[in-house]
Amino acid sequence: MGIQRLEDKSLAVWGFGREGKAALAALSERFPGKRLTLIVPSDDRDRAASEAGMATLEVVDDRTLEETLRRFEVVVKSPGISPYREDVRAAQAQGVEFVSGTQLWFEEHTGDRVLCITGTKGKSTTATLLGQLLRATGATVELGGNIGRPLLTLLNPEPRPDMWVIELSSFQTFDLEGTPEVAALLNLFPEHLDWHRSVENYYRDKLRIFAGRGPGSAVLNYLDPVSMEHLSEINGEKLFFNHPSGVHAREGGIWDGESRLCSASEFALPGEHNLSNLCAALTVLKAVGSDLQAATAALPSLTGLRHRLDKVASKLGLVFVDDSISTTPQSAMAALRSYRGRPATILVGGLDRGLDWMDFADAVLAGEAFAVLTLPDSGPQIAELIRARQSALGRGASLRLHELESLEEAVKLAAEITPPGGVVLMSPGAPSFGRFRNYEERGAAFGRAVAGL
């Protein structure tokens, strides 16, 4: 099993982002001299050929994709390419095997202690916290996956870690056949429907993280109703966070059942959602037998992610916060709640994936935000929904609502209208694609716009 099973196969790598580059590097290292093919969009062909710089690599474009795919026995597919596409289904019907870098990594690490985190929101933060907490207990840890470190770049690190902490997106759980020691599902909301084609597919693909649990543990959020609806589909020992008998937050503290572990004020990351992420990470530690008291002693030193409620500056009497990693309406709402009690202007909008913004609209009309500034491409639809709900509910007359064409314009207007002591929060609730290469680039653009005020 593992990569070695591909030695005598005709191979292509489809996609040349982080995952595609990692796949090419891993395959060329394992099979030096083997002829490989890279499939990319036609306008990326020359760049990819130049960057790859491999004499044994054929770079082809996707203009005749169905015909191209049928040339290969195995295609290592980048996560962003949906397996529900007709061209993928047609190639599979012709016997082409599609495999992910994630699946190949799991095949290579069947005996390792692997802890996996997934969920619609919070998975990157939770995986980061889990890695930090494990290190605080003396364990050596490698953190990878969807968090920005493709697993195929982590095939054989030296020294070998005691444990792996792996963040998995729904794109990566889709074909997962590995069995992690602990698999944690933080929550489920409709997401990535353009890739999964339906909410039902999305939930099923997420839940594959629990397939074949065996002796492993399943960590679940007791307060997430959709996760609880799917309990019968989850095998293995179940551990719940945000449950009174498990790790939960109450009365200003973090508790494990009736045992108070620490004060919640020792944890620097803002927001109730981050307390929930912390409880999830501590529950995973509990599942692997770590010392929770030793772990919670490290709370004051824990740090969050770049572009996740990341304070960019305090100027003009305002706090500017970069939450560019926010890609769902629910994460935008959670970010707003982190600053409850302060006048907050939120910047939302990005790639339109047809997600439901109704709860967000109702929340801002109930006073959760001082102002909402919308951005392309989904901005006009969000603004239209807010106005429709304003009319239907008869409330929210004081909400400032503006449609802007650029991030720079939105930052400038936010600085002008937000009252002193307030917060300017970029939490788009949507991916950046179409306007920016990724959320990091969007966050950097926000930082530049703030610096230019």
- Beta strand extents in 48-129 (DSSP E only): 57-61, 74-77, 97-99, 114-118
CA 305 → CA 128, 326, 373, 407, 438, distances in Å? 8, 12, 24, 21, 15
According to the model, what pLDDT value does residue 194 have?
A: 86
Where do the domains of the chain lie, and which CATH numbers do they carry? 3-99 (3.40.50.720), 108-301 (3.40.1190.10), 310-451 (3.90.190.20)
Is the bond leading into 377 cis (omega within 30 degrees of zero)? Answer: yes
Residue 149: Cβ within 10 Å count: 16
Distance CA 343, CA 214 (A): 50
The rounded Cα 445 to chain-centroid distance in angstroms is 20
According to the model, what pLDDT value does residue 427 have?
A: 97
* Sign of the CA dihedral running 436, 437, 439, 442: negative
CA 192 → CA 99, 103, 174, 202, 203, distances in Å? 20, 20, 12, 7, 11
* Cβ(168)–Cβ(116) below 8 Å: yes
* Sign of the CA dihedral running 432, 437, 438, 444: negative
Distance CA 229, CA 216 (A): 21
Q: Which residues of the chain have pLDDT under 70?
A: 1, 213-215
pLDDT digits (tens, 9 = 90+) for 434-449: 889 899 999 999 999 9
Distance CA 410, CA 421 (A): 18
CA 374 → CA 220, 444, 449, distances in Å? 34, 18, 16
Is residue 176 helix, strand or coil? coil
Is residue 4 helix, strand or coil? helix
Distance CA 39, CA 169 (A): 23
Distance CA 251, CA 264 (A): 9
CA 346 → CA 149, 284, 368, 423, distances in Å? 30, 33, 10, 8
pLDDT digits (tens, 9 = 90+) for 154-169: 999 889 999 999 999 9
